[in-house]
């Protein structure tokens, strides 16, 4: 089970580093604000995007069939995977057919979700992540801490040391320009050697049977246009109906993600290049089940911009790894309970329900309301810690009985006034570890009212 509170406390122990992490992400949130303000119709676009996705979810089967038919027509090979294991087997079978032993990959949260790299490594296939941030964490053998900025938790000194060890850069070198140049050289070699290239998918267009992939570095294109086999892996929810809808989503995506008006590269793939093969793997892995949960289905609208992470005051101060899942932050906290309610029962409580995530979301997912709803299900299924459950049951009884409420309140205030400090501030008092308890007045408002107004 994930203990978010414990992991967060560990993260915060280094307070200057926590501040640095918080400021880095707040800076991106701020850039997002400015970029969104440059678009007068921003709020209208969010509404449109949400509406288009509503339609997609309500006709997802038709759109997927239309997409497949058009992709086949385009000469693309289409595969369907019910779960992660099937997805991994499909990718492996494509690679095996072509005798591939080296593959390059651009960012794909789906393949992270399916643990594709580990699976292929076991089959003796080398997978190289080619997005710089992804490559950094791959060399460190750790998962990404953010879906758009995978290495946002690392300092340049740490990356410098890593590159010195793995890529033979100068010892002590920390200049981002120098380190990026070293990675460029290293990755160019990998691109040239690769026998296959795999990418994620930002949007799949039903009407045309093509996929759109957005990057800033150009790594996805370097991969797929050099290798003889190109593979795109997509969740079923990546479908949009028509090409014209790309206008809406691409206007929102990068502005929400990093505050850029668009990513540097927005690639539209429809047919294999002459002499090469193009495959698309369509993956369910729990998504159709989420579609059946009416309170939670619109989490499937997510376009993976990461804005909810950048804005979340808890994510910024606990880091992506504290969530224990590929997709951290607010959106991760509403996706994970549907995957394993018990294992991730902590995450919907890792929130103050401040609502910033829902208001920043470019497709208007009501994230904080879904967190509230997951909490109800977690409690109903009996996954609340037992002490908490008992306390809540008592609280409920007291609040329905005015005389009990008055009595308990009076006793509590009295205790606060007369008990010596060690009785009040001890290891059982989570409030009091770094905060004073409120000063207890002799009279409650109700007592005052009785004396002064009746």
Partner 1 sequence: MKVGLFIPCYIDQFYPQVGIATLELLEKLDVQVEFPANQTCCGQPLANSGSEQEAEPAYHHFVDLFHHFDHIVMPSGSCTYHVRKHYDRIEQTAEVQHVRKNTLDLSEFLLDVLNLQSLNARFPYKVGLHQSCHGLRGLRLGPDSEQNLSRPSKIQTLLNMVDGIELVDLSRPDECCGFGGTFAVGEPAISVKMGKDRIADHESKGVEVITAGDMSCLMHLEGIIRRQGKQMKVKHLAEILNGVQL
Partner 2 sequence: MGKDSILQAIRQNKPAGRPLPEIPIFPGREITPTEQFIKMAETGGSQILRAAHVQEINAMLKNLFPEARNIASPVPEITSTINLEEIQSPLELEQVDVAVIRGHLGVAENGAVWLTESACRHRILPFITQHLMLLIPETSIVPTLHDAYRNIRINDEGFGIFIAGPSKTADIEQALVIGAQGARSLTIILTAF
Residues 17-46 that bind partner 2 (CB under 8 A): 24, 27-28, 39-41, 44
Q: Is residue 226 a contact residue for partner 1 (CB under 8 A)?
A: no
337-376 residues in contact with partner 2 (CB under 8 A) are none
Give which of partner 2, partner 1, none residue 81 binds (C-beta under 5 to 8 Å, depending on kind). partner 2
Q: Which residues contact 1 (CB under 8 A, 6 or more apart)?
A: 342, 343, 345, 346
39-98 residues in contact with partner 1 (CB under 8 A) are 42-43
| Calpha distance 239→382 (Å, rounded) | 36
List the x/- string, 83-122, binding to partner 2 by CB under 8 A.
---x------------------------------------
Please state the closest distance from residue 209 (CB atom) to partner 2, in A: 7
Q: Is residue 422 a contact residue for partner 1 (CB under 8 A)?
A: no
Q: Is residue 247 a contact residue for partner 1 (CB under 8 A)?
A: no
Nearer to partner 2, 293 or 410 (CB): 293
List the x/- string, 201-220, binding to partner 2 by CB under 8 A.
----x--xxx-----xxxx-
Q: Is residue 246 a contact residue for partner 2 (CB under 8 A)?
A: yes
Please state the closest distance from residue 140 (CB atom) to partner 1, in A: 25
List the x/- string, 414-433, binding to partner 2 by CB under 8 A.
--------------------
Nearer to partner 1, 26 or 80 (CB): 26
List the x/- string, 356-395, binding to partner 1 by CB under 8 A.
x-xxx-----------x--xxxxxx---x---x---xx-x
Q: Taking contact as CB under 8 A, which single stretch among the options 1-9, 73-81, 305-313, 418-426 is the one that binds partner 2?
A: 73-81
Q: Taking contact as CB under 8 A, which single stretch among the options 70-78, 96-104, 234-242, 437-445 is the one that binds partner 1?
A: 437-445
Please state the closest distance from residue 377 (CB atom) to partner 1, in A: 8
Give which of partner 1, partner 2, none residue 216 binds (C-beta under 5 to 8 Å, depending on kind). partner 2
268-307 residues in contact with partner 2 (CB under 8 A) are 268-273, 282, 284, 288-289, 291-292, 294, 297
Distances (CA, A) of 64 to 53, 59, 206, 299: 14, 9, 7, 18
| Calpha distance 78→69 (Å, rounded) | 9
Please state the closest distance from residue 95 (CB atom) to partner 1, in A: 43
Nearer to partner 2, 156 or 389 (CB): 156
Q: How many residues make contact with partner 1 (CB under 8 A)?
A: 72
Q: Is residue 311 a contact residue for partner 1 (CB under 8 A)?
A: yes
């Amino acid at each position: 089970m994930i203990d978010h509170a414990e992991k967060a406390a560990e993260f915060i122990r280094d307070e200057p580093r926590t501040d640095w992490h918080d400021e880095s992400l707040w800076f991106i949130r701020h850039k997002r604000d400015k970029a969104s303000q440059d678009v007068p119709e921003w709020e209208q676009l969010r509404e449109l995007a949400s509406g288009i996705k509503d339609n997609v979810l309500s006709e997802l089967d038709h759109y997927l069939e239309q997409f497949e038919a058009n992709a086949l027509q385009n000469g693309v090979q289409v595969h369907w995977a019910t779960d992660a294991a099937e997805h991994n087997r499909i990718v492996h079978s494509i690679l095996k057919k072509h005798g591939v032993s080296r593959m390059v990959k651009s960012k794909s949260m789906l393949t992270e979700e399916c643990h594709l790299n580990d699976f292929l490594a076991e089959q003796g296939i080398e997978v190289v992540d080619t997005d710089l941030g992804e490559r950094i964490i791959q060399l460190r053998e750790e998962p990404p801490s953010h879906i758009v900025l995978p290495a946002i938790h690392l300092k340049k000194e740490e990356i410098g040391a890593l590159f010195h060890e793995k890529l033979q850069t100068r010892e002590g070198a920390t200049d981002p320009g120098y380190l990026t140049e070293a990675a460029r050289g290293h990755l160019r070699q990998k691109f040239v050697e690769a026998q296959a290239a795999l990418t994620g998918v930002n949007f799949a267009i039903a009407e045309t049977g093509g996929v759109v992939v957005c990057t800033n570095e150009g790594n996805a294109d370097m991969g797929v246009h050099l290798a003889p086999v190109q593979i795109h892996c997509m969740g079923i929810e990546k479908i949009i109906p028509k090409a014209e809808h790309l206008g809406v989503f691409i206007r929102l995506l990068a502005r929400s993600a990093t505050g850029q008006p668009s990513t540097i590269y927005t690639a539209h793939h429809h047919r294999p290049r002459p002499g090469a093969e193009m495959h698309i793997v369509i993956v369910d892995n729990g998504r159709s089940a989420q579609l059946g949960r009416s309170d939670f289905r619109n989490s499937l609208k997510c376009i993976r911009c990461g804005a909810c992470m950048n804005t979340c005051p808890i994510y910024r101060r606990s880091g992506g790894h504290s969530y224990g899942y590929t997709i951290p932050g607010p959106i991760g906290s509403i996706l994970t309970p549907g995957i394993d309610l018990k294992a991730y029962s902590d995450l919907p409580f890792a929130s103050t329900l401040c609502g910033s995530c829902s208001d920043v979301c470019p497709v208007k997912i009501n994230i904080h309301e879904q967190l509230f709803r997951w909490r109800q299900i977690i409690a109903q299924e009996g996954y609340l810690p037992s002490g908490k459950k008992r306390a809540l049951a008592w609280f409920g009884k007291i609040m329905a009985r005015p005389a009990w409420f008055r009595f308990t309140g009076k006793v509590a205030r009295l205790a606060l006034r007369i008990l010596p400090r060690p009785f009040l501030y001890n290891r059982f008092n989570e409030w009091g570890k770094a905060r004073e308890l409120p000063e207890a007045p002799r009279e409650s408002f109700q007592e005052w009212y009785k004396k002064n107004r009746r």
